[in-house]
Structure 1
Amino acid sequence: ATDNGGAIDNDTVQVTVNAAINKAPVANAGADTSITLPVNSTTLNGSATDADGSIASYKWTKILGPSSGTIATPSAASTGLYNLVQGVYLFQFTATDNGGAIDNDTVQVTVNAAINIAPVANAGPDINIYLPQNFGYLMGSGTDVDGVIISYHWRVISAPAPFTLENQDSSTARLINLQQGVYEVELKVTDNQNKEGLDTVKVFVGSSRIDVSFELLNVYPNPVRDVLNIKINTKDPGQTALITMFNLNGAQVYFKQIKITGMTWVETVDVSNFNKGAFLVQINIGSEKSVVKKIVKL
């Protein structure tokens, strides 16, 4: 400044222009999601915006959940997740802008247990028995596409007379002391996830068919010492025949499946190692009913 006498004086002032305050970006980790095993992968879809700059980097981090699980590309906004197991995962998504400011967001991924498919029980085909045979074997099975069968249980739903059921907690059970009539039996199988499957089988017990036995089945020599000949006569060759032998306690001592190629078929059975006593020979041919013949081993 200069006065009227020509004297002057000086002073200074400093003006500071600051950079704009950097606004932090806004991170968005996406919506929570869930999957159900056996699907064990999904995708994380993150995004971010920055009002006064640009996004410089992304980062995904697992902050909660089972130890198993792989983030395919942690530095990408969108990335795959693999090898997940049942449980709840929490992932953090971090966005950093060109000014170094950061923002975080989280997303939850829930992995549900697989939906257990119930096992399938198979109680086997219906059974035909003719007195004097008064027992029958129940041959069951079970399958489970997503697990294993851990238990079997047989129960008789209906019966014409008292009976005895043996080995009812096994895939193969035995009905004994049967009388003429129809027995309906249920098989229950249980898998390792406690799901159950049911199936039923009917056991038809008929009166003695001794006369018919001579028509369809002949065994000789009887009594027998070493080799037993089983002669089968059928009007329908080409079918499959099942030959089963039991002792009088109901234990199976011989079984063979054969293909009958003619109207008469002779099958030989070595019984030299059988214990002495009486045995029952049972034959099933195609859809025909069972035929039973009693023999004596010397």
Structure 2
Amino acid sequence: MRNTNFYGLFIFSAAMLINSGCTEDTLATGSSTSKPPTVTEPSYPAPNASAGYDIQVILPHDYCWLEGGYYYFNASNNTITNNKVAWEKISGSSTCKLESPDSLKTKVSKLEKGVYEFELTVTNNMGLTGKDRVTVTVGEMSANTKEKIFNDLIWDDWNGWDKLHVEINNFYSHVPSDSFFKVYIQRDNSANWIEVLPWSENAQYYYIVYSDTLFVYPKSINPFDYDTPNVKIIY
């Protein structure tokens, strides 16, 4: 009777082990058949570099300013630090000089007639980099210039632009894309035309051309004194 009970107890214990997914080996070693948890390493984004907008330089001026920037998507300032920047000339005359290649804003001097390409590289403390390029075209105005005036433009800040501006759409339908041009603005309260300088210049007014649209920005403007300025293009 005692042997029968022992045999029945043994059969019952074995069945319980099988149902629980255990084997004799796992009991002996103390291991488990379940997989260890997966450890996911944190992923850090690379910086998104911006070298700015393409620039046109009209001789006899032989310099311009490059002004870059960078940003991150879904990144904490506590984990992404010590961003280092570096400008490098990719193509163009060897005579030009990058005066502050390790700064986001640098002056480029000794430019000669031709096309230059400069690359901005941004590197963070994780060793991740972002790159972007800007083109600088240097040349002369035509000997037989033409003029076009756009009257009564409106200051605006729509379409995601964070600064007040006036704009001329379909710009290259008015000015040939391969021509050098100058931009001037005339405010309602003045008879004078003020030259608008290329983007990143420290000027009263500056311009950029983006996606076939000319944007003219004032350095500062009284929001309660909006007028309808005229813009003149000489090309």
Distance change (3 Å), C-alpha of 1:139 and 1:48? same
- The structural deviation recorded for 1:17 is 5.6
- Identity over the aligned pairs, expressed in percent? 24
SS at match of 1:125: coil
Cα distance in 2 between the residues matched to 1:203 and 1:116: 33
Spell out, residue by residue over 1:24-48, the C-alpha distance to the aligned partner (whole angstroms, 9 max, x if none): 6448xxxxxxxxxxxxxxxxxxx82
Name the structure 2 match of 1:131. 59
Aligned pair partner of 1:142 in 70, 73, 80: 70
- For residues 34-82 of structure 1, what are the alpha-carbon distances to aligned partners after superposition, in whole Å with 9 as ceiling and x for unaligned? xxxxxxxxxxxxx82589xxxxxxxxxxxxxxxxxxxxxxxxxxxxxxx
C-alpha deviation, 1:284, in angstroms: 3.1
Corresponding residue of 1:235: 150
How big is each residue's C-alpha offset from its partner over 1:161-184, in whole Å with a ceiling of 9 and x where there is no partner? 401102211222221122222111
Q: Assess if the C-alpha contact under 8 Å between 1:153 and 1:189 holds in 2.
A: yes
Instruction: Report Cα offsets for 1:132-169 as digits up to 9, x if no partner.
Output: 32221111112232543612111001113401102211
After superposition, give the CA deviation of every residue in 1:79-114 in whole Å (9 maximum; x if it has no partner): xxxxxxxxxxxxxxx99xxxxxxx752531231313
1:48 pairs with 2:20:
yes
Displacement, 1:234? 3.1
Asked if residue 266 in structure 1 is aligned to residue 191 in structure 2, the reply is no
CA distance in 2: counterparts of 1:164 and 1:132, whole angstroms? 17
Which AA in structure 2 matches 1:266?
R
Q: Secondary structure at the match of 2:136?
A: strand
Of residues 117, 130, 135, the one that matches 1:202 is: 135
| AA partner of residue 197 (structure 1) | G
Query: Which of 1 and 2 has greater Rg?
Result: 1
Kindly provide the amino acid, as one letter, of the partner of residue 265 in structure 1. Q
What root-mean-square deviation, in Å, do the aligned CA atoms of Structure 1 and Structure 2 show? 4.6
Matches of 1:157 and 1:133, distance apart in 2: 21
Q: Following the alignment from structure 2 to structure 1, what is the Cα–Cα distance between the partners of residues 125 and 67?
A: 21
* 2:207 counterpart of 1:284: yes
Q: Against the structure 1 CA distance between its residues 125 and 236, is the aligned structure 2 distance closer, same or farther, given a 3 Å change threshold?
A: farther
Provide Cα deviations, 1:247-288, integer angstroms capped at 9, x if missing partner. xxxxxxxxx964379x962288xxxxxxxxxx9877537556
Distance in 2, Cα, partners of 1:26 & 1:16: 23
Once residues 48 and 60 of structure 2 are traced to their aligned partners in structure 1, the CA distance between those partners, rounded to angstroms, is 34
C-alpha contact 2:165 2:215 (8 A) present in aligned 1: no
Residue 118 of structure 2 contacts residue 133 of structure 2 at CA under 8 Å; is this kept in 1? yes
What SS does structure 2 have at the residue aligned with 1:111?
coil
Identify unmatched segments of 5+ residues in structure 2: 156-162, 169-183, 191-201, 217-231
Whether the 8 Å CA contact 1:164–1:177 is kept in 2: the answer is yes
Is residue 89 of structure 2 the alignment partner of residue 156 of structure 1? yes
Contact 2:48–2:130 (CA<8 Å) still a contact in 1? yes
Are 1:173 and 2:106 counterparts? yes
Give the TM-score normalised by structure 1: 0.43
Q: Is the 8 A contact 1:180 1:206 kept in 2?
A: yes
Report the Cα distance in structure 2 between the residues aligned to 1:282 and 1:179, rounded to whole angstroms: 25
TM (normalized to structure 2)? 0.52
Does the CA-based 8 Å contact 1:161-1:179 persist in structure 2? no
Q: Which of the numbers 161, 173, 186 marks the counterpart of 2:119?
A: 186
| Unaligned 5+ runs, structure 1 | 1-14, 28-46, 52-93, 96-102, 217-232, 241-255, 269-278, 292-298
Q: How many residues align?
A: 167
- Secondary structure of 1:205's aligned partner: strand
**Counterpart-to-counterpart distance in 2, 1:109 and 1:127:** 54
Equivalent pair of 1:116/1:146 in contact (CA under 8 Å): no
Using the TM superposition, give the Cα deviation of residue 131 of structure 1 relative to its aligned residue in structure 2, in angstroms: 2.3
